[in-house]
Amino acid sequence: MYRAHVLVCGGTGCTSSGSHGVMDGLKSELKKQNLDDEVLVVQTGCHGMCEMGPIVVVYPEGTFYCRVSKDDVPELVEEHLLKGRTVDRLLYTGEGDVHVPHYSEIPFYSKQERVALGNCGYIDADKIEEYIARDGYEALGKVLTSMTPEDVVEEMKTSGLRGRGGGGFPTGLKWSFCAKSPGPKKYVICNADEGDPGAFMDRSILEGDPHSIIEGMMIGAYAMGADEGYIYCRAEYPLAIKRLKRAIDQAEEYGLLGENVLGTDFSFSLHVKEGAGAFVCGEETALMGSIEGRRGMPRPRPPFPAVSGLWGKPTNINNVETWANVPSIIRRGGAWFASMGTEKSKGTKVFALTGKVKHTGLVEVPMGITLREIIFDIGGGILGDKKFKAVQIGGPSGGCLTEEHLDLPVSYEDLAKAGAIMGSGGMVVMDEDNCMVDVAKFFLEFTQRESCGKCVPCREGTKQMLLLLKKICDGEGTMEDLAQLEELAHMVKDMSLCGLGQTAPNPVLTTLRYFRHEYEAHIKDRSCPAGACQALIRYRIDQDKCKKCGLCAKNCPVNCIDGDRKTQFVIDEDACVRCGTCYDKCPFDAILKL
Ligand SMILES: Cc1cc2nc3c(=O)[nH]c(=O)nc-3n(C[C@H](O)[C@H](O)[C@H](O)COP(=O)(O)O)c2cc1C
Ligand code: SF4
Ligand code: SF4
Ligand code: FES
């Protein structure tokens, strides 16, 4: 029995900011102070607030320390664990420089509802006992001993859970298709490819709570009559793969995985397959091809995986977050899950909140919460108190929404109406300095690069669209180019084979819908209203503000600022390479960015 538990975040974010050093430091300092029998150090998964890492939480008080370094450890042990005094300087600092000691009082957490992330940050993912102590594998026991496979599918239908991998297909319905498919051999797959740039929802669950995925998959396998499963995880997630493999070994040792689970007729074996990180391999048919050892390329559907999937056998594929929700649904009931969210979007959703927002990180919120609440209440508003401009939701193939959508409930149906998609949960916030044409170009560059090249509309269409976007950003576009861009966007959307091509034009189409004036400014006025497109920026010197200090001229890398103290300093616009150095160096804000 320990009198205190010190939870040190061992997620990828905190690991890269030095949490291993903190953990080792804590262990040796506790030993030095003869406290190692009284205080237990536990390595946990991600808490979501990675930018404030390394995170350390001390229980029973639940004191939340951030940006802890190994040099802080002696003070933390001496003050908090020996003398019972909080180390204020390591607490989260809220508005008005007030220290906030507890998790629940930090605005970032106060509106969150953690189901899929329920164990992340609380348990040591390497210890199955800690998962079991938080009701882990109880749901598996329940289905194997008191529910028929049909009951399980019905419970999933009652929950209203929809696939969290992007498409939002109702999970219970999908399971019923595979359950009805005849055949002695069936597979279940966990899609842990997570290819969206900036997304780390799935990685955090894989690293912080791998058993919830294993348990979810086993419940699904029982419901659908499968006896084998694959977790397809990108090789760039080494920590996730390590923890998954360890979790599988432990579950097997405990008799929770393998032959005759818990003494029943149900047997299940589970493998981890490492993917090479191609975005298109997240598409389900490409993913199965990759598991089979072929090149990951989508194929037309039907047949759907439920009928003919892995090696031609009925297969059910779900996303990491989808599987991670299953044990809680079975334990607490489908109706409990359905009590959260909106009419057509039940439960909670995890988002990776990034971009120009004060508090970036991983948040899990009930469906139906507004964008304003996520960005301003949880995210703390716009960085540098600049003006909110847009939010890109749904990853590289999502859409950009504007200020008028801030009170839009976040649900599959409302986002679709506004032209965006839930996607897997990427949310990038943009401010007045972001050029929306440039943003569309950025996302299209990604999808174009990741196109597998199998079908012409996606392979060639996205390439042509990108060329047109580059032309517009360089100030060389015409109104005919704009019309062609729009036409191509619709063509690629309608005619591509798989979801990559079908959704790649979304950033272009939504920015055209809500920010057409910015495209037109690039073309008609040869100007970038946000001042972001380098080719369209002009630097001039405001002679009223200029104090003739000459710093700009001294720092200009191409010596294109002429003048002296007696006359004026003037920029030769033809020679200027628009590097912005003079703008940054002038102490009197006399350089104008036009
Ligand atoms: C280009 C492309 C990439 C995808 N990447 C992922 C991914 O990384 N993870 C994922 O779960 N689903 C991804 N999907 C969706 C999957 O094809 C599939 O719909 C999903 O895994 C089904 O699980 P769900 O019903 O739980 O959402 C992707 C789809 C496309 C078209
Ligand atoms: S739409 Fe693009 S990614 Fe999908 S099959 Fe066609 S070329 Fe490949
Ligand atoms: S933007 Fe760069 S190149 Fe142009 S005048 Fe300023 S310092 Fe010189
Ligand atoms: S990795 Fe530690 S809070 Fe995310």
Would you tell me how many other CB atoms lie within 10 Å of the CB of residue 8? 24
Which residues have C-beta atoms less than 6 Å from ligand 2?
Answer: 280, 298, 451-455, 458-459, 496-498, 500-501
Q: Can you give the pLDDT at residue 105? A: 87
Domain that holds residue 581: 538-593
CA 280–ligand 2 middle distance (angstroms): 8
447-472: per-residue pLDDT in tens? 999 999 999 999 999 999 999 999 99
347 pLDDT above the threshold of 90: yes
Residues 6+ away with beta carbon under 8 Å from 387: 431, 432
Atom of ligand 2 nearest to the CA of 286: 5
Query: For residue 91, what is the domain's CATH number?
Result: 3.40.30.10
Distance between CA atoms of residues 213 and 43, nearest Å: 19
Q: Can you give the pLDDT at residue 243? A: 96
Q: Can you give the pLDDT at residue 386? A: 94
Is 371 found in the same domain as 316? no
158-168: per-residue pLDDT in tens? 999 999 998 89
423 pLDDT above the threshold of 90: no
**CB of 576 sitting under 6 A from ligand 3:** yes
Q: Can you give the pLDDT at residue 63? A: 95
Residue holding tokens 């946000």? 530
Residue holding tokens 């396998």? 221
CA 267–ligand 1 middle distance (angstroms): 27
Is 262 found in the same domain as 366? no
Q: How confident is the model at residue 408 (pLDDT cuts 50, 70, 90)?
A: very high
CA 207–ligand 4 middle distance (angstroms): 10
Assigned domain for 120 exists? no
CA 39–ligand 1 middle distance (angstroms): 43
Lowest mean pLDDT among 310-319, 333-342, 526-535: 526-535
Q: In testing the pocket of ligand 2, which one of 287, 455, 491 has its CB within 8 Å of the most ligand atoms?
A: 455
Q: In testing the pocket of ligand 2, which one of 500, 502, 503 has its CB within 8 Å of the most ligand atoms?
A: 500
Assigned domain for 116 exists? no
Q: Can you give the pLDDT at residue 440? A: 96
3-state secondary structure of 427: strand
Q: How confident is the model at residue 497 (pLDDT cuts 50, 70, 90)?
A: very high
CA 14–ligand 4 middle distance (angstroms): 5
Cis status of the peptide bond prior to 314, with omega within 30 of 0: no
The residue contributing the CA closest to ligand 3 atom 2 is 579
Cis status of the peptide bond prior to 305, with omega within 30 of 0: no
Query: For residue 280, what is the domain's CATH number?
Result: 3.40.50.11540
DSSP string for residues in 553-573: HHH-TT--EE--SSS--EE-T
Atom of ligand 2 nearest to the CA of 459: 7
The residue contributing the CA closest to ligand 1 atom 25 is 163
**CB of 485 sitting under 6 A from ligand 4:** no
The residue contributing the CA closest to ligand 2 atom 8 is 452
CA 155–ligand 1 middle distance (angstroms): 23
The residue contributing the CA closest to ligand 4 atom 3 is 50
Strand order across the beta sheet in which 361-366 lies: 361-366, 348-355, 426-431, 388-393, 399-402
What is the token pair recorded at 552? 């700009």
pTM: 0.93
The residue contributing the CA closest to ligand 3 atom 6 is 582
What percent of the chain has a predicted confidence (pLDDT) above 90? Answer: 92
Q: Can you give the pLDDT at residue 429? A: 96
Q: In testing the pocket of ligand 1, which one of 177, 191, 236, 459 has its CB within 8 Å of the most ligand atoms?
A: 191
- Contact of 206 with 320, CB cutoff 8 Å: yes
Is 270 found in the same domain as 296? yes
Mean pLDDT of the chain: 95
**CB of 553 sitting under 6 A from ligand 3:** no
**CB of 499 sitting under 6 A from ligand 1:** yes
Assigned domain for 124 exists? no
3-state secondary structure of 584: helix
Is 176 found in the same domain as 243? yes
Residue 563's φ and ψ, nearest 5 degrees, are 140, 175
Is 221 found in the same domain as 192? yes
197 pLDDT above the threshold of 90: no
Task: Give the number of domains in the chain.
Answer: 5
334 pLDDT above the threshold of 90: yes
CA 50–ligand 4 middle distance (angstroms): 4
Query: For residue 577, what is the domain's CATH number?
Result: 3.30.70.20
Atom of ligand 4 nearest to the CA of 54: 2
- Of 281, 308, 339, which one is at a domain's C-terminal end? 339
Q: Can you give the pLDDT at residue 353? A: 95
Q: Can you give the pLDDT at residue 395? A: 86
Is 256 found in the same domain as 169? yes
Alpha-helix runs per DSSP H in 209-306? 210-224, 238-253, 284-291
Q: How confident is the model at residue 96 (pLDDT cuts 50, 70, 90)?
A: confident
- Render the burial of 91-130: b for 16+ CB within 10 Å, e for the rest: bbeeeeeeebbebeebbbbeebbbbbbbbbbbbbbebbeb
Is 329 found in the same domain as 282? yes
3-state secondary structure of 103: helix
- Of 525, 546, 577, which one is at a domain's C-terminal end? 525
- Of 525, 559, 579, which one is at a domain's C-terminal end? 525
DSSP type of residue 370: B
380-404: per-residue pLDDT in tens? 999 998 999 999 998 888 889 999 9
196 pLDDT above the threshold of 90: no
The mean per-residue pLDDT over the stretch 289-298 comes to 96
Atom of ligand 4 nearest to the CA of 362: 4
**CB of 163 sitting under 6 A from ligand 1:** yes
- Region of 533 (left: φ > 0; alpha: ψ -120 to 50; beta: rest) is beta
CA 165–ligand 1 middle distance (angstroms): 5
What percent of the chain has a predicted confidence (pLDDT) above 70? Answer: 100
Assigned domain for 558 exists? yes
Is 483 found in the same domain as 378? no
Q: Which amino acid, 230?
A: Y
Atom of ligand 2 nearest to the CA of 458: 2
The neighbouring-strand residues paired with 394 are none
Is 475 found in the same domain as 417? no
For the CA of 349, the nearest ligand: 1
**CB of 279 sitting under 6 A from ligand 1:** yes
Is 148 found in the same domain as 243? yes
Query: For residue 425, what is the domain's CATH number?
Result: 3.10.20.600
Is 572 found in the same domain as 479? no
- Contact of 401 with 420, CB cutoff 8 Å: yes
What is the token pair recorded at 159? 């929950």
**CB of 582 sitting under 6 A from ligand 4:** no
Query: For residue 474, what is the domain's CATH number?
Result: 1.20.1440.230
CA 479–ligand 4 middle distance (angstroms): 47
517-563: per-residue pLDDT in tens? 999 999 999 999 999 999 999 999 999 999 999 999 999 999 999 99
350-359: per-residue pLDDT in tens? 999 999 999 9
Q: Can you give the pLDDT at residue 261? A: 97
Is 216 found in the same domain as 178? yes
Assigned domain for 122 exists? no
The CA–CA distances, whole Å, from 102 to 1, 62, 86, 106, 393 equal 24, 6, 11, 7, 30
Assigned domain for 118 exists? no
Distance between CA atoms of residues 93 and 584, nearest Å: 30
Assigned domain for 98 exists? yes
110 pLDDT above the threshold of 90: no
41-77: per-residue pLDDT in tens? 999 999 999 999 999 999 999 999 999 999 999 999 9
Assigned domain for 412 exists? yes
The mean per-residue pLDDT over the stretch 409-426 comes to 91
Q: Can you give the pLDDT at residue 565? A: 87
95 pLDDT above the threshold of 90: no
- Region of 283 (left: φ > 0; alpha: ψ -120 to 50; beta: rest) is beta
